[in-house]
Amino acid sequence: MPGGTQPGEKRIAAALIVSTLGALGLAVVYVRGGQPQLEGALLGVSFGGLGVGLILWAKYLLPGTPVVGDRETLGSSPDERAAFEASFERGELALERRTFLSRLLMGAVGALGLALLFPIRSLGPSPGRTLQTTAWAPGKRLMREDGSLVRVGDLEVGGIVTAFPEDRPDAADSQIVAVRVDPDQIRPRPGREDWSPDGHVAYSKICTHVGCPVGLYRQTTHSLLCPCHQSTFDVLDGARPIFGPATRSLPQLPLMVVENGVLAARRDFTEPVGPGYWNRG
Amino acid sequence: MKLPAPKVARWIDDRLGASQFARTALNKIFPDHWSFMVGEIAMYAFAVLVLTGIYLTFFFEASTREVVYNGVYAPLRGQTMSAAYRSGLDLSFQVRAGLVMRQVHHWAALVFIGAIIVHLCRVFFTGAFRRPREINWIVGVTLLLLAIANGFFGYSLLDDLLSGTGLRVAYSIALSIPIGGEWLAFLFFGGEFPASATIPRFFVLHVMILPALIIGLLSAHLAILWHQKHTQFPGPGRTERNIEGSRLWPTYAIKSVGLFLLVAAVLTALGGLAQINPIWLYGPFKPATVSAGSQPDWYVGWLDGALRLMPPWEIRAFGHTVPNPFFPGVLLPGLTSGGLYAWPFLEPRFTKDRGPHNLLNRPRDVPVRTAIGAAALAFYTLLFLAGGNDILAVQFHVAPESITNTFRVLVIVLPVIVFLVTRKLCRDLRRGDSHPMQRPVGSRVRRTATGGYDEVDPDGQAPAVPDRDRA
């Protein structure tokens, strides 16, 4: 090594050599087909060697004694401020002289600013009634994601299935879970006595908290659990929330049995599904 | 003149007259304290983010168009998915060095926001935000918020099952805003969730608009810092009117470039060796599917924890609803960022100290501020932990309900305890401590002619102050 008398020079040289070897290794790994772990490790070695080399260079070979400098006051002097104010007022006066025109100018700028807000409206559709309705309609049959229809007898007691309205598997707001329970255990709400043929109860699968799919069914406690924030709903009691942040029951879909024992909706949900919003009521 | 290219330098100076500025810049003094490096780590992580991010845009397809996967990853072959998710898989499995770039980008984002928060703590606990640096505090808080938002947009782009869940939660939070929430959510996400416009839109925000804002504000942050100069810790010879440290050229510049390279080294090594966001394990987004153990990236964890801990309350009156997620999802982050923005203006109202400060506080010197900061850290850390209540339940074999209930109590009680303990600790430390930074401690030892050792009376000797090069 030429000259190697300065302390630290050997270490700096070693770090720089390691870095170079890392870079060459990286090129070899890349050419031979690439390997993510080796690529990352060699990049790390290459950057790290350079970094260590430079820091050692600064530590051993560059001036290390602290230097002291002055700070200037940040604020301007009264004279400078006065000069600035004078310059500004000179322009302001020239504008203010035309009172009527400057008011018109402000009006025109304001109107243009307002008009430029309107294109924002094009960013999305109007909420309209989208949030209040789903794709369910009287007689729409329950279809699984694979396209098969849900029939009475497909589910054992304790079984659960996710379903969409037939031909609308893309309707994310219409997803439901149908659970089969012992019909004697259901405590239907007034007016819902005939909504669960043979113990098949169907609820909107969209959590009333922030809309995650309520996918976990605890058979022993007859509760549906949302894996996102642990809101828990009592299947036997109209999917009333019994734990977690959700405040509202999962909306229930009225079911009936149509030809060939296929389950179908009596009609759409009677309330909006999913998370709450200002105009939900 | 031994400049590398004196002719070029003269050519530039003839046209720009840059010598004066360049000379001042080279001689600029930067304090040497490790805690001042944290902001630099954030900046260098951002540089890595930009470099890797540009690379990723060449391969990513921001589209929700439905495609059938036919690539090399066998478990997903034949599945229907979005073009965005497929391009993420192809980038990971078929582009040579693509997975490393993707993982380095993700790690850099995690480190970027982490370093910003540690930097914010440094500035807060040492009082570096005080006059004249309030404007830069505001710029810095804005940078933090932009960084968090852009991190969220970034990991939402891949359209995997986990990021789809995050988007759904964000959509529902937007929906919960009183009066205009429905419109806001529909306009921002492009319709009712899941809208096909969301991912292309977030892509533009993620790769163009937010990076442009971050670069602009980061430049302002540095320009203001450059103009105002750094703060410094109190010490021998240091006053409000001077600054002590290394000159930019060569010592500080070489050290700082070295730090950049070390940040890049850690991030690239992590990107190769530590798997992050394995989207192929999560599967493509499907509206009716979610997996347990859905945790967001760490910097969103406190919000998810707040959503989980919120009791089932909401306001329903006059035919309108202020839904439950509004309180943890909108009000809490609103108060958090509002409190951060307001702090440099709130504190002087109580301390009556409105003067300029270039010398830093040690945390113990300002017990109430330090105690408030520590209590806030306890609060947000608890929220973060609560965001993993399902994981904790599995790990400790406890029902998630009891974990949530415990956190609901802790999140109120523990910050109060932390406040009281920290304030007492600071006061005791301040009282019992000889303030080693303001005068030298310890003693000098002298070897006598007979081979013994004497302690030199510290009051009889000049304190050991290093020789100074008065600039």
The closest CB to that of A55, out of B243, B258, B468, belongs to B258
Distance CA B171, CA B188 (A): 9
B314 and A247 in contact by Cβ < 8 A? yes
Distance CA B308, CA B296 (A): 13
Distance from CA of A194 to the nearest CA of B (A): 27
Q: Which residues of B touch A51 (CB under 8 A)?
A: 258-262, 264-265
A200 touching chain B per CB within 8 A: no
Enclosing H/E stretch for A78: helix A78-96
B323 and A276 in contact by Cβ < 8 A? yes
List pLDDT tens digits, range B290-299: 877 789 999 9
pLDDT at B462 over 50: no
Distance CA B257, CA B236 (A): 29
Q: pLDDT at position B464, please?
A: 44
Q: Which residues of A touch B313 (CB under 8 A)?
A: 247
A43 and B100 in contact by Cβ < 8 A? yes
B254 and A58 in contact by Cβ < 8 A? yes
List pLDDT tens digits, range B100-156: 999 999 999 999 999 999 999 999 999 999 999 999 999 999 999 999 999 999 999
Tens digit of each residue's pLDDT, chain A (281 residues): 455 567 899 999 999 999 999 999 999 999 999 999 999 999 999 999 999 999 999 999 998 888 999 998 889 999 999 999 999 999 888 888 888 998 999 999 999 999 999 999 999 999 989 999 999 999 999 999 999 999 998 999 999 999 999 989 989 999 999 999 999 999 999 999 999 999 999 999 999 999 999 989 999 999 999 999 999 999 999 999 999 999 999 999 999 999 999 999 999 999 999 999 999 97
Q: Which residues of A touch B245 (CB under 8 A)?
A: 66-67
List pLDDT tens digits, range A97-147: 888 998 999 999 999 999 999 999 999 999 989 999 999 999 999 999 999
- For the entire predicted model, the pTM comes to 0.92
Q: pLDDT at position B471, please?
A: 35
Distance from CA of B335 to the nearest CA of A (A): 20
A-B C-beta contacts closer than 8 Å: 291
Q: Is B15 helix (H, G, I), strand (E, B) or coil?
A: helix
Q: Which residues of A touch B259 (CB under 8 A)?
A: 51, 55
Asked if omega into B132 is within 30° of 0 (cis), the reply is yes
ipTM of the complex: 0.94
List pLDDT tens digits, range B21-38: 999 999 999 998 999 999
Q: pLDDT at position A242, please?
A: 95
Distance CA A181, CA A156 (A): 8
Residues 6 or more apart from B350 whose CB is under 8 A from it? B368
DSSP assignments along B313-359, one per residue: --EEETTEEE-TTHIIIIIHHHHHHHHHHHHHHHHHHHH---S---B
List pLDDT tens digits, range B374-393: 999 999 999 999 999 999 99
Q: pLDDT at position B446, please?
A: 75
Q: pLDDT at position B256, please?
A: 96
B169 and A62 in contact by Cβ < 8 A? no
Q: pLDDT at position B5, please?
A: 78
Nearest to A160 by CA among A182, A175, A187, A180: A180
Structure tokens at B259: 């730090």
In chain B, the residue whose alpha carbon lies closest to the alpha carbon of A245 is B312
In chain B, the residue whose alpha carbon lies closest to the alpha carbon of A62 is B251
Judge contact between A240 and A208, C-beta under 8 A: no
B103 and A36 in contact by Cβ < 8 A? yes
Judge contact between A169 and A147, C-beta under 8 A: yes
Lowest mean pLDDT among A3-12, B69-78, B122-131, B243-252: A3-12
Other CB atoms within a 10 A radius of the CB of residue A46 amount to 23
Distance CA B188, CA B202 (A): 9
List pLDDT tens digits, range B184-215: 999 999 999 999 999 999 999 999 999 999 99
Residues 6 or more apart from B238 whose CB is under 8 A from it? B232, B244, B359
Q: What confidence category does residue B434 fall into, taking pLDDT thresholds of 50, 70 and 90? A: low
Any idea how long chain B is?
471
In chain B, the residue whose alpha carbon lies closest to the alpha carbon of A50 is B261
Q: Is A223 helix (H, G, I), strand (E, B) or coil?
A: strand
List pLDDT tens digits, range B254-275: 999 999 999 999 999 999 999 9
Nearest to A279 by CA among B330, B323, B312, B307: B323
pLDDT at B72 over 70: yes
Write down the residue that tokens 């950057």 correspond to: A47
Q: pLDDT at position A2, please?
A: 54
B469 and A47 in contact by Cβ < 8 A? no
H and E: helices and strands count for chain A: 4, 12
The closest CB to that of B269, out of A40, A66, A130, belongs to A40
B401 and A230 in contact by Cβ < 8 A? yes
Residue range B422-430: mean pLDDT, rounded: 93
Cα-based distances in Å from B437 to A67, B14, B21, B430 = 18, 47, 34, 12
Q: Which residues of A touch B235 (CB under 8 A)?
A: none
pLDDT at B1 over 70: no
A40 and B104 in contact by Cβ < 8 A? yes
Mutate one of B91, B290, B304 to test the A interface: name it (highest A CB count within 10 A). Answer: B290
Q: pLDDT at position B468, please?
A: 42
Residue range B425-452: mean pLDDT, rounded: 72
Q: Exposed/middle/buried for B334, CB within 10 Å: 0-12, 13-18, 19+?
A: exposed
In chain A, the residue whose alpha carbon lies closest to the alpha carbon of B93 is A36
**Between residues 73 and 102 of chain A, which touch chain B (CB distance below 8 Å)?**
74
Backbone angles phi, psi at A165, to 5 degrees: -65, 145
- Mean pLDDT for all residues in chain B: 92
Q: pLDDT at position B438, please?
A: 53
